[in-house]
Amino acid sequence: MKIRAVRGMNDILPEEARSWHRVEASFRGVAELFGFGEVRTPIIEDTALFSKQIGETSDVVEKEMYSFRRHDNELTVRPEGTAGAARAYVEHAMWGKESVSRWYYIGAMFRGERPAKGRYRQFHQAGCELYGDAGPVADAEMIELCVRVLASLSITDIKVHLNSLGSGSAHDGEANVGTRARYKAALLDYLQPRSLELSEDSQRRLEKNPLRILDSKDPRDQAIAAGAPSILDVLSSEDSEHFDGVQRSLTALGIPFVVDPRLVRGLDYYTRTLFEIKAEGADLGSQSTVCGGGRYDNMVESLGGPKTPAIGFAMGLERLLIAHRAATTATNDTSFKPVVYIASLKPEAGDPAAGLDVALSLARELRDRGVRCDIDSRDAKLKAMLRRADASKARLCVIVGDEEIATNQLTVKDLANKAQEKLPRAEAAQWIAARLATPPGSSAEEAK
């Protein structure tokens, strides 16, 4: 039996990895522009970190975590990045070092969910976390950061969905009877008489966590959720004021958005602002959410730090790549292309490796000058080598054959216009580098 990659986990081969670098570089560039610095936390954390922060009744904790026991510890391969970052923030007592911390991360996450296009068991997220700023401007700027990342990848057909959950998150306990608790009660009043029409999962969670039902992907739940009361009607005046501030800041930044009172998202730790960005044009179906985030003003405290406001988001890199490809019509060919193809022919007589020595030293001189080159020393006739040189899309082909070796020269062929030159071996690298500095197709004379 052949061993294959684990279902829902993908290899990224070099050609595709080049597109990943492009996406990651865009993200890093924008994050750095906003003053964020990279944090790298372990991929494995204590299971309790996730079950407590993400919530026992969330899909992620209930059925998607890769958890195991080792050395008497209950461990989990991280399903998301926010909890681990906050754990590190507390562990390093960052509040004592700076009043505001801006962190970003890029890395693999693991969730055992049902694979589909844009939904995998190992996937990658790039995210930002901002600690220490409670104001609504911070929320708007985080959204602006996301929009800029998307724009830098030509993903402009987007919709920003915005909501507020008020203060008092699920792990605040009963002591904090905030907006959340009042909304939970209102929602229960609405859902209880309709409980038999809900999915089995939702029926089970009705008492414990009715908000979760609004985030369900089951069509039965979605039909009922559509008529549910709006959380915005029960926001406290402070929460309302904050939410108004976010909207006002977004407008000032010129970012269109829709207020979506049914937006709750799957993780329990959120407070106040919640947002999602959907890529409309990418044919991603129910995987169209490329970015999700929100405030989590209680997490740092619940991990043993001082009360510290925080906001973050994560973008799904696989989904960004799909949307990026859909948005860029040009065949953005990022594959490796040599610029110079060195055809090293097998000598008819004499030292069988003489040509190879020449090819290798030329390649070294070219790479010293930053020129990408390939050596072809596979046993073949000149005609076949030239065919392969054409197929490689190189600009120049250098021929190292018997005659070249005998005269200490090299033949350089322009693969676009087929013009051919003979050059002294010692001057070849210099000549080629100068030639490459001129636009393709210009005459060989100009380079001299």
Partners of 397 in the beta sheet? 341, 413
| Run of H or E including 136 | helix 136-152
Q: Which stretch binds ligand ATP (CB under 6 A): 100-108, 120-128, 147-155, 422-430?
A: 120-128
278 binds ligand ATP (CB under 6 A): no
Cβ distance to ligand ATP smaller for residue 215 or 297 = 215
Closest distance to ligand ATP from the beta carbon of 78 (Å): 11
Contact call for residues 249 and 243 (beta carbons, < 8 A):
no
For ligand ATP, the closer of residues 160 and 340 by Cβ is 160
Please choose, out of 140-148, 167-175, 286-294, 383-391, the segment that lies near ligand ATP by the rule CB under 6 A: 286-294
Q: Based on the shown chain and the rule CB under 6 A, indicate whether residue 81 belongs to the binding site for ligand ATP.
A: no
Cα–Cα distance, 90 to 326 (Å, whole number): 40
For residues 169 and 289, which CB has a smaller minimum distance to ligand ATP in the complex?
A: 289
Q: Which is nearer to ligand ATP, 290 or 386 (CB)?
A: 290
Q: Which of 291, 322, 366, 405: binder of ligand ATP (CB under 6 A)?
A: 291
Euclidean distance between CA atoms 326 and 421, whole angstroms: 43
165 closest CA partner among 293, 316, 287 = 293
| Cβ 291 to ligand ATP shortest distance, Å | 6
Using rule CB under 6 A, residue 148 touches ligand ATP: no
Which position's Cβ is nearest ligand ATP? 316
Q: How crowded is residue 32: how many other Cβ atoms within 10 Å of its Cβ? A: 13
User: Which pair of tokens denotes residue 274?
Assistant: 């919640």
User: Residues 113, 157, 301, 374: which binds ligand ATP (CB under 6 A)?
Assistant: 113
Please, what is the minimum distance in Å from the beta carbon of residue 343 to ligand ATP?
Answer: 44
The nearer residue to ligand ATP, 69 or 114, going by C-beta atoms, is 114
Nearer to ligand ATP, 142 or 423 (CB): 142
CB of 399 to ligand ATP, least distance (A): 48
Q: How far is the CB of 226 from ligand ATP (least distance, A)?
A: 17
Residue 21, SS3 per DSSP: helix
Closer to ligand ATP by CB, 305 or 316: give it.
316
Identify the CA nearest to 262 among candidates 224, 216, 226, 221.
226
As a 3-state breakdown, the chain gives helix, strand, coil percent values, each rounded to 5, of 45, 20, 35
Contact between 318 and ligand ATP per CB under 6 A? yes
Tally the residues of the chain: 448
- Cβ proximity to ligand ATP, 102 vs 265, nearer residue: 265
How many Å apart are CA 288 and CA 291, to the nearest integer? Answer: 9
Q: Which is nearer to ligand ATP, 231 or 322 (CB)?
A: 322
Kindly indicate which of the ranges 32-40, 315-323, 330-338, 364-372 contains the residues binding ligand ATP, using the contact rule CB under 6 A: 315-323
Give the 3-state secondary structure of 97-165.
CCCCEEEEEEEEEECCCCCECCECCEEEEEEEEEECCCCHHHHHHHHHHHHHHHHHCCCCCEEEEEEEC
**What is the spatial distance between Cα 209 and Cα 179, in angstroms, rounded to a whole number?**
15
218 binds ligand ATP (CB under 6 A): no
- Outline where DSSP puts E strands in 165-321: 258-259, 271-279, 289-295, 310-316
Q: What are phi and psi of 326, to 5 degrees?
A: -65, -30
Q: Counting beta carbons within 10 angstroms of the beta carbon of residue 182, is it exposed (0 to 12), middle (13 to 18) or buried (19 or more)?
A: middle
Between residue 92 and residue 111, which ones bind ligand ATP under the rule CB under 6 A?
111
CA-nearest of 411, 416, 420 to 441 is 416
Judged by CB under 6 A, the stretch of 69-77, 115-123, 244-252, 392-400 that binds ligand ATP is: 115-123
Measured from the CB of residue 74, what is the shortest distance to ligand ATP in angstroms? 21
Q: How near is the Cβ of 8 to ligand ATP at its closest, in Å?
A: 8
Residues 109, 80 contacting (CB under 8 angstroms):
yes
Classify strands 258-259 and 158-164 as parallel, antiparallel or unpaired.
Answer: parallel
Q: Which residues make up the interface to ligand ATP (CB under 6 A)?
A: 80, 111, 113, 118-120, 123, 125, 265-266, 287, 289-292, 314, 316, 318-319
